[in-house]
A and B are shown apart, each in its own frame.
Chain A
Amino acid sequence: MTGTGMGQADLRLGRRVFGSAQLLVMAIVNRTPDSFYRPGVTWDPAAALERVHTMVAEGADIVDIGGVPARPGDEVDVREEVRRVVPFIAAVRGAYPDLVISVDTWRHEVGRAACAAGADLLNDSWGGWDTRLAEVAAQAGAGIVCSHAGGLPPRTRPFRVAYDDVVRDVLARTLALADRALEAGVERARIIIDPAHDFGKNTWHSLEITRRLGDLAGTGWPVLVSMSNKDFIGETLDVAVDDRLAGTLAATAVCAWLGARVFRAHHVRETRHALDVVSAIRGDIPPARAVRGLA
């Protein structure tokens, strides 16, 4: 049994409405000089916009624009984060009136400026650290991602984290955040939950939330997974960051089968292909072109 459509409603992002059987690719665009995967590749605004064009052409449904790496490093204050992401969001919005734009931030000030520039979704990877972010989403009519970081402050690494039951903790924290977003006035159809692989978790924990992803999908909230090239893939295979695509796609297919609906990814084309195969196996989409044995 898969999570397809089990109590799942439409997901609304920006002007778009996505049915429960649609699997969405959220393409990562880092406006940073020092992110973990190919640092600085989209630091230059022109290169970043070119990257967006490519990702849209490859089948991205959402672009997720971030200005602060998840890992510890040089301080990026609000002003600098705004400088990195907000003009760029405006440029993407100018080029693509209907594309869903997400901003990867935990700060409400950045979220507010991003929404004013055209962002549709606030991707709060740090589990509601800034409690005012949901209010910003509500005021802007935007969506919000409610993620599980195990209570860690932003930009910190897990240190000997332990859970009685990591999935229970993920459910408790993400559902509480979703309820809080609802109370703040965010539209129900614009709220997403994210178990946040690697955030506040060791590799065993990330494998466990993948294995039991159906528990999250079973809540009825749309589930986002962000696994692309992450350490739990790297440690599972003992491979470096540039050698994690196959592992990422395997985890992607498993999560899709178990009911995740949004997939944050660096490799858009490959992720789109993996998801389309899962959709076709499930019978949600037909093959693109079937001739074998039918001529």
Chain B
Amino acid sequence: MWSRRSVATSRPREQSEGWRSPVITAAVLCPAPPLLHPGLTGQQAVVPELRAACAQAAGRLLRDDPEVIVVAGPATATGEWDAAGRLDPAAYAPGVARTETGSLPLPLPLGLGAMLLDQAGFRGRRRLLAVGQDEPASACAALGAAIAASQDRTALLVMGDGSARRTLRAPGYLDPRAAFFDAEVERAVRAGVLDALLGLDQALARDLMATGRPAWQMLAGAMRDLAPAAEVLYCADPFGVAYLVACLRPADP
């Protein structure tokens, strides 16, 4: 069940001797609300525990010293963005300093993912992959499979949110289907049964304003058959939007 704050019961296992690591070293799920950006909530951090959980999770991605970190998040269309790109916070808060990178400002989820990597001190190679919001599950999974087929040891930072219609005060008002939808996602992630994410209904997700759907299905494609162990660092809906922060590591063979 979604609660104000819930803590993991399952922990990632250590790698055993002589076992060849899969291409995907680890994956992290983070939500992508603008309020994750420290410049956008004014004088208060508003949800410091969410920011702390995201920072902690992003830090975990660096542990295995991956050759590349792929930031994946939903956007209008599928495509790869300039790795030097950053979020433009001024789009959300005119008057807040613009980020000058010389690149087009990133879509929100990719921009926040890039920010989390910057905050974690990651200086290595990164790819920024937008997954189109209307891509069907099969196409999303194929994008993930392509990443898993690469030669580089890769960590994934998957940015996306659950339903935004969980309460009367939620951005999308209350939809009684939201709780079940989000619970299904949480159950799949906690159990490491990512295939269940491929079954998420695209139309329902759109109705529920659950923007994370395509990115999660990409993740399911990338970690297929890895039966990852999960640690959930944050799972709550302080503003009626489902936020889930989780770390996934491939299990021992």
Q: Which residues of A contact B (CB under 8 A)?
A: 283, 285-291, 293-295
B241 near A290: Cβ-Cβ < 8 Å: no
- The docked-state distance in angstroms from the alpha carbon of A285 to that of B171 is 26
Q: List 13 A-B contacts (CB under 8 A).
A: A287-B43, A289-B42, A290-B40, A290-B93, A291-B41, A293-B34, A294-B35, A294-B41, A294-B92, A295-B33, A295-B164, A295-B238, A295-B240
Are A290 and B42 touching (Cβ within 8 A)? yes
Q: Within 8 Å CB of A283, what residues of B?
A: 95
Decide: A289 and B43 in contact? CB cutoff 8 A. yes
A295 to B50, CA, bound (A): 12
Pick the contact of A288 from B35, B44, B95, B171 — CB < 8 Å?
Answer: B44
* Complexed CA–CA distance, A294 and B87 (Å): 14
**Cβ of B2 under 8 Å from chain A:** no
Instruction: Evaluate contact between A290 and B240: CB separation under 8 angstroms.
Output: no
Is B122 interfacial (CB 8 A cutoff)?
no
For residue B46, which residues in chain A have a CB less than 8 angstroms away from its CB?
A: 289-291
Contacts of A293 in B (CB 8 A): 34, 171
B10 CB, min distance to chain A CBs, angstroms: 28
In the assembly, what is the distance between CA of A71 and CA of B206, in Å?
A: 69
Distance of B253 from chain A, by nearest CB (Å): 41
Closest residue of chain B to A283, judged by CB?
Answer: B95
Q: Which residue from chain B places its CB closest to the CB of A286 in the assembled complex?
A: B42
Q: Check A291–B43 contact: CB distance below 8 A.
A: no
For chain B, which range describes its interface: under 10, 10 to 19, 20 to 34, or 35 or more residues?
10 to 19
Nearest Cβ distance between residue A267 and chain B, in whole angstroms? 23
Kindly provide the distance from the CB of A74 to the nearest chain B CB, expressed in whole angstroms. Answer: 48
Interface residues of B (CB under 8 A from A): 33-35, 40-44, 46, 92-93, 95, 164, 171, 238-241
Contacts of B43 in A (CB 8 A): 285-289
Q: Which residue of B lies closest to A285 (CB)?
A: B43
Contact B44–A294 (Cβ < 8 Å): no
CA distance A295 to B171 in the complex (A): 8
Q: Is the CB of A291 within 8 A of B239?
A: yes
Q: Which A-chain residue is minimally distant from B36 (CB atoms)?
A: A294
Instruction: A287 to B41: give the CA distance in the assembly, Å.
Output: 7
CB distance from B241 to the nearest CB of A (A): 5
Smallest distance from the beta carbon of A3 to chain B beta carbons, Å?
18
The 6 lowest CB-CB distance pairs between A and B, nearest first, are A295-B239, A287-B42, A294-B34, A286-B42, A283-B95, A294-B35
In the complex, how many angstroms separate the beta carbon of A30 from the nearest chain B beta carbon? 33
Chain B residues with Cβ below 8 Å from A289 are 41-44, 46
Check if A294 sits within 8 Å of B40, measured CB to CB. Answer: yes
Interface contact A295-B241, CB-CB below 8 Å: yes
- Closest approach, in angstroms, between the C-beta of B45 and any C-beta of chain A? 9
Question: Does B42 lie within 8 Å of A295, measured CB to CB?
Answer: no
- Alpha-carbon separation in the docked complex, A285 to B43 (Å): 8
In the complex, given contacts A286-B42, A294-B41, A295-B241, what are 13 additional A-B residue pairs having Cβ atoms less than 8 angstroms apart? A285-B43, A286-B43, A288-B44, A289-B42, A289-B44, A290-B35, A290-B42, A291-B41, A293-B34, A294-B34, A294-B40, A295-B238, A295-B239
Give the distance in Å from the alpha carbon of A281 to the alpha carbon of B33 in the complex.
Answer: 24
Tell me how far the C-beta of B242 lies from the nearest C-beta in chain A, rounded to whole angstroms: 11
* Chain A residue contacts of B239, Cβ below 8 A: 291, 295
Closest chain A residue, CB of each to CB of B95: A283
CA distance A294 to B238 in the complex (A): 12
Q: Which residues of A contact B92 (CB under 8 A)?
A: 294
| Residues of chain B with a CB closer than 8 A to A294's CB | 33-35, 40-41, 92
A286, B96: Cα distance in complex, Å: 9
A294 to B93, CA, bound (A): 10
Q: Are A295 and B35 in contact (CB under 8 A)?
A: yes
Q: Are B35 and A291 in contact (CB under 8 A)?
A: yes
Cα distance A283–B95 in the bound complex, in angstroms: 6
Residues of A within 8 A of B41 (CB): 289-291, 294
A291-B170 Cα distance, complex, nearest whole Å: 12
In whole Å, how far is A291's beta carbon from the nearest beta carbon of chain B?
6
B93: nearest chain-A partner, CB-CB? A290
Q: Report the nearest B residue to A289, measured CB to CB.
A: B44
Most buried by B among A285, A290, A293, A295: A295
Instruction: Please state if B240 and A288 are interface contacts (CB–CB under 8 Å).
Output: no
Least distance between A164 CB and chain B CB atoms (Å): 41
Closest to B164 in A: A295
A286 partner residues in chain B, CB cutoff 8 A: 42-43
| Distance (whole angstroms) from the CB of B223 to the closest CB of chain A | 28
Q: Chain B contacts of A291 at CB under 8 A?
A: 35, 41, 46, 239
In the complex the two chains form, what is the Cα distance from A290 to B93 in whole Å?
A: 10
Taken together as a complex, chains A and B put the C-alpha atoms of A289 and B95 apart, in Å, by 16
Least Cβ distance of A261 to chain B in Å? 21
A207: min CB distance to chain B, Å: 31
Q: Closest approach, in angstroms, between the C-beta of A104 and any C-beta of chain B?
A: 33
Query: B241 to chain A: which residues have CB within 8 Å?
Result: 295
B40 neighbours in A (Cβ, 8 Å): 290, 294
Complex CA–CA separation, A290 to B95 (angstroms): 14
When distances are taken between beta carbons in the complex, the residues of chain B under 8 Å from A290 are 35, 40-42, 46, 93
